[in-house]
Structure formats: C-alpha cells, structure tokens
Amino acid sequence: MAENGAVLATASEAMAYNMDGKIAEFDADVFYDKFCALVKKITRRVNEETIVKGVCISSASGNTVLLDTDGRPLIPAMSWLDTSEDGETEAVMGKLDLDAIYKRVGWPYHSSFPLAHLCMVKIRKPGLLEKAAKVGMTSEYVNLRLCGAFAMDYSTATTFYLSDQVTKRWHFPHLDMLGIPESKLPVLLPVGTKIGEIGRAASAETGLPIGTLVYLGAFDHPSAAYGADVDREGKMLLSCGTSWVGFTPVKGRDKVLAAELLCDPYLEREDLWGGYFSLPKVGRQADMYIEKFISTGPERYDKFNALAAGSPPGANGLEIDIFEDPPDALFNKDKSDVARACMENVARLMGQKLKALTAFGISVDGIAMCGGPSESPVWPGIVSDIIGKPVRALKHGAHAGAVGAAKIAIATDAAG
C-alpha cells in the first residue's frame, strides 16, 4: 500500500493444515516461510523504485506456539480449528467462571483457543510448558523472526484468553494455574506500535531491506474494519467466508457485553469498541447447496451467481433453509430459483441478527461487505434489499485484513 492509501499489489499463499480427527495443527516455520514468499511475491509486483517502509500483520490468531530458548517452535502450532479438548481445561483450571471470563476477555470462552491449548499441553505433554522459553501465537512468532521483538497488540490478545481487556494486563490467576510466568509471554502494547526493524536474517528471508520497520497489527476482523473505514457507530463490516461476521463500532464496552457480542478494543478510539457476531458456517452450508444443485466444478460460483441473477426477488416463491439437509425435491425446481433462494436465506439470517441488536441500542445504517460473496454481481444487492440498508462491496475485499494492517502502519507513521 502506498502512503496515500492506494493498494499497489496483493498476493495469496495457501496454508496446509495437519488434520487428524479433532486435532488441527500446522508447522509454524512453514507459516513463516509462506509469509516470506508472500512478501517476495508482492514486492516483485511493484516497480523497482518502490521503497518498502514498513510491515504490519493482521492475523486470524488463536494459533498457539511454544518456543525454545532460540525462539524456534518446540511443537507444531495448535490451530483455533482444533476441537480435541477433552476435560483438560477443567483439570488445570477447575470449573471456569464463564461469565467472569467473558467480562474480562471480551469473548465467551471457546475450548479451541489458546487457553484450552495450553491446558491440553500441560496435561498431555508434562514438562513442556516449563521447558518453553516463550509462549504466544503465530503472529508473534512471525514478528519475532522479523525483528527480534516478542510483543502482542491488545486486539490480538483478546483471542489468547489470558489478558484483561480493560486493565490491558495479563490475568495472573490463570497464569499461576498454568505455571507460566509473565516473562515468557509477549509484551502487551497498543495496536500500531512500532516494535522494531527487519534484521539481517529476516532481510535475506523476505528480500526486504535491513531496517524496514515492523508494526503491530490487529485481529483480522477489526483490522479489516479499519481498512474499510468502519470508524463510527452505525457502520458495519460484513465479512463473508465459511461464517459471515458482522463487526460494528459501539460506544461503550458495557453495551457490547449486554448484547452478548464479541468485543474488541478497536484501536483505542474514544471508548469505541468493536462489537461483532457470527452467522456460523453459513458459507459452508451455502456451498453444500451449490455443490448438490449447481455444480462441483471450479466454475461453480460463476454459475451460482449467473443463475441467481436470472431469478426475480422472492425466487418465484421458493424459500430455503440452508441449515436443513438439501431436499431432493429441489431437483425439480428451477436452478435459478434455487440459487436466488439460497442467497436470500443467508440475507434474511443477517437481517434477523441486525434486528436483534436494536433492542440494545445498536443500529446499523450502512454495510461494507468483503469476502467471496462480496465479489458476486448479485449477492450484495440481495443483502441490501432484504435488510433495507445500503451495502457496498469492498474493492480489495479478499485482502481486507491486510489492507487494514497497512493502513494501521501508515497512520502510526504519520502520527510520528
């Protein structure tokens, strides 16, 4: 991204996960190598006169890493997709006070995030937590490799489940139960903090000049919202992937918690907190309908969009519940109506969520949409028509988190 906010180049790399039943893990060094490959790919796509001033990471987070005294992984990174927790958390922590965790952390407890991962390690791999010199997540590992600093921003720390969102400090009672001293954890700092410069080894690995600045980013949805200029109450980012996530700035943390939304510090702005909710697995459910009734080929989304465009609002009276097993009776329906009804069902679910928020004084007057469905020529319009709000598709929606991270670094640099 140029200093004026223009996106100069984008790139993607697929990440491989080791999935074994409920276990989900991956190689943190491969993750770092993929990052380096991305940097090289991007810099090759801009002209030779371009000088890279800084790097900032936005991450899905929730991926636990344990590092040795040389700063290298002791075991594979444990992914937030891991669902293998089986009583280890209670064995280490006792019965959790779920309400207290939500109020302190800003997220309801999930057994697939780092707090649970660390309890699993303590029970399943005795002595490993004591052996680890550093405990963090993959974004911290990448930054450590880049500039030698081990730091975590307040936004990303939410998904670690060991910090207090209000005091901005680690929660020592849980650290004591795990047997992890504060000295092993990253330093907690504001989003956008400049934490160091690219060193000699990282320069060789990334192709970036020695001295390139490294900034702390944010968790992916808040970062994407920042990149989409979702910067006041009434605006919302709708991020569409496997799940659809709505993220909106809310004045006052208590209001976010009262509505039982996920809460993010949202860049420390004037008591403006990010409140967000998820429509879990709606993208996956829609895919199931597409593959059964439209196509399983690489062109299936193009076909899905073209068919939906050929059906009128209301899909000629056809209604679908994508969370029901796809009925064979739909084979007798016009594929255009099936496609449109599928899109309309997801849009109605979104509308129900927005309506529920109004009871807590949270209203939305406009939506920025990113992710695969935002690139559809018809789906954003369907969402807009059904919820009765304007919807704009982001130009670089597939890279919204990265766009936000770049803007965070630029804003920090501009502020001196």
One digit per residue, pLDDT tens: the chain, 416 residues? 999 999 999 999 888 899 999 999 999 999 999 999 999 999 999 988 889 999 999 988 899 999 999 999 999 999 999 999 999 999 999 999 999 999 999 999 999 999 999 999 999 999 999 999 999 999 999 999 999 999 999 999 999 999 999 999 999 999 999 999 999 999 999 999 999 999 999 999 999 999 999 999 999 999 999 999 999 999 999 999 888 999 999 999 999 999 999 999 988 888 999 999 999 999 999 999 999 999 999 999 999 999 999 999 999 999 999 999 888 999 999 999 999 999 999 999 999 999 999 999 999 999 999 988 998 999 999 999 999 999 999 988 888 899 999 999 999 988 87
Written as six digits, the tokens of 242 are 């496997």
Secondary structure string (H, E, C) spanning the chain:
CCCCCCCCCCCCCCCCCEEECCEEEECHHHHHHHHHHHHHHHHHCCCCCCCCCEEECCECCCCEEEECCCCCECCCEECCCCCCCCCHHHHHHCCCCHHHHHHHHCCCCCCCCHHHHHHHHHHHCCCHHHHCCEEEEHHHHHHHHHHCCCEEEHHHHHHHCCEECCCCEECHHHHHHHCCCHHHCCEEECCCCEEEECCHHHHHHHCCCCCCEEECCCEHHHHHHHHCCCCCCCEEEEEECCCEEEEEEEECHHHHHHCCCEEEEEEEECCEEEEEEEECCHHHHHHHHHHHHHCCCCCHHHHHHHHHHCCCCCHHHCCCCCCCCCCHHHHHCCHHHHHHHHHHHHHHHHHHHHHHHHHHCCCCCEEEEEEHHHHCCCHHHHHHHHHCCCEEECCCHHHHHHHHHHHHHHHHHHCC
Q: Are residues 191 and 142 in the same domain?
A: yes
Identify the sign of the CA torsion 302, 307, 310, 311. negative
Where residue 336 sits, what CATH number does that domain have?
A: 3.30.420.40
- Is there a domain that residue 164 lies in? yes
Question: Could you tell me if residue 63 is inside a domain?
Answer: yes
- Say if 4 falls within a structural domain: no
Compute the distance between CA of residue 25 and CA of residue 98 in angstroms, rounded to an integer: 26
- Domain total in the chain: 2
Residues 31 and 165 in one domain: yes
Task: Tell me whether strands 366-371 and 391-393 are parallel, antiparallel or unpaired.
Answer: parallel
Asked if residue 1 is part of any domain, the answer here is: no
> Cα separation of 154 and 251, whole Å?
18
From the centroid of its chain, how far is CA 58? 8
pTM for the structure as a whole: 0.90
Residue length, the chain?
Answer: 416
One domain for residues 89 and 167: yes
Residue with tokens 């068919």: 307
Contacts of residue 247, defined as CB under 8 A and 6 or more positions apart, other chains included, come to 221, 222, 224, 225, 230, 236, 237, 238, 239, 264, 274, 275, 276
Nearest-angstrom CA–CA distance, 217 and 191: 6
Q: Are residues 188 and 242 in the same domain?
A: no
Q: Are residues 64 and 23 part of one domain?
A: yes
Judge contact between 276 and 262, C-beta under 8 A: yes
**Does some domain include residue 398?**
no
96 & 138 share domain: yes
Residue 58 lies in a domain: yes
* 355 & 254 share domain: yes
Q: Are residues 299 and 259 in the same domain?
A: yes
- State whether 382 and 409 are in the same domain: no
Shared domain for 176 and 242, answered yes or no, is: no
Is 100 domain-assigned?
A: yes
Verify that 273 and 352 share a domain, yes or no: yes
In a domain, 29, yes or no: yes
42 contacts 35 by C-beta, under 8 angstroms:
no
* pLDDT for res 392: 94
Q: Show the domain range for 283.
A: 231-393
109's torsion region: left (phi>0), alpha (psi -120 to 50) or beta? beta
Indicate whether 325 and 353 sit together in one domain. Answer: yes
